[in-house]
Structure 1
Amino acid sequence: MSSTSISPVKVIIFAKRKEGTTKEQFSEYWRGPHAELFLALPVVKKRCIKYEQFHEGIDDRATVENALSYPQSGWDGVAFVTFDSSEGTAEVFNDPAFKELASTDSPKFLASPDVSQYMLVVGNPEVRYSAEGTQ
């Protein structure tokens, strides 16, 4: 008997632009053509429930990192991609069309895969406080 996960999975991608690409070129391509290609994939339409990109200013992030005595991260952007379940996440990442997009489109604007980092968060958040009110 197989079990089915009903908890969403959030993939957090810390992105670094490829060498020779300006911050503006990186952001323009990532928020435009790349996002459109990713979101057009049938498996993504079926399994992705939220896609967010953060194109924060390098100076703003550096100011906060300095205030917190954090090392400079150097990320050019962060994406939060939420899938409906662990099975849905696996379905997307194993889909041939997704693999093709990752291997052909990502090198156009992202540094090599060993530079960008990924993190997974599985489950529903337990909100203890929100300025907008608890959920």
Structure 2
Amino acid sequence: MVVLAGRPQDWTHEQFTTWWRGPHADAARILPGLVAYRHGAVTKDYDNPEAPGWDGHAVLTFADQTALDAAFTSPEWKAATAQTKGMGGRRIILITDEVDLLTGDDHG
């Protein structure tokens, strides 16, 4: 699962990154079945350098679709997503089938 997110208008990029890597990560890292959780703070947007379209991304890895589906119905998921309600930011959540293009390993 890949999440792209933009901060609320009244937050700085730094505030948003601190929140995402702090309280929000604390809530998300306990999702059942989560095997990897990475976050990237946007440092440069080549397509829009003056006003980046996004502030960060997260990649949450689960063993398979069944594990992801179980996480989506868990109380932990509800708690983690409740933190974002009413913030005024924006997000896109994508479910992906990942392949390592350097080694050719399928991680889907």
Mapped pair 1:94 → 2:73: yes
TM-score, structure 1 normalization: 0.65
For 1:109 and 1:29, the matched residues in 2 are separated by 12
Which of structures 1 and 2 has the bigger CA Rg?
A: 1
* Count of residues paired in the alignment: 103
Whether the aligned pair in 2 keeps the contact of 1:21 and 1:109 (CA below 8 Å) is no
Task: Report if aligned partners of 1:18, 1:107 keep a CA contact under 8 Å in 2.
Answer: no
Encode CA deviations 1:79-108: one digit per residue, 9 max, x unaligned.
1111111010010011123213311x1247
Amino acid paired to 1:120: I
Residue by residue over 1:21-62, the C-alpha shift from the partner in whole angstroms, topping out at 9 and shown as x without a partner, is: 1111000110112101221x3xx2x411111111021xx21x
CA RMSD in angstroms, aligned pairs only: 2.4
Measure how far apart 1:109 and its partner are.
5.5
Aligned in 2, Cα 1:52/1:109: closer, same or farther, shift over 3 Å? farther
How many Å separate the matches in 2 of 1:121 and 1:107?
24
Question: Which residue number corresponds to residue 17 of structure 2?
Answer: 27
Label 1:20 to 1:126 Cα distance change in 2 as closer, same or farther (>3 A). closer
Closer, same or farther in 2 for the Cα pair 1:110/1:55, shift >3 Å? farther
Gap regions ≥5 residues in structure 1: 1-10, 67-71
Contact in 1 for aligned 2:42/2:56 (Cα 8 Å): yes
Deviating above 6 A after TM superposition, structure 1's stretches of 4 or more consecutive aligned residues are none
Aligned twin of 2:96? 121
Asked if 1:84 corresponds to 2:60, the answer is no
Within the candidate set 16, 19, 34, 2:6 is matched to 16
Closer/same/farther in 2, CA of residues 110 and 84 from structure 1, 3 Å limit: farther
Q: Determine which structure has the larger helix proportion and give its number.
A: 1
Question: Aligned partners of 1:75 and 1:19: how far apart in 2?
Answer: 12
CA pair 22-30 structure 1, distance change in 2 beyond 3 A = same
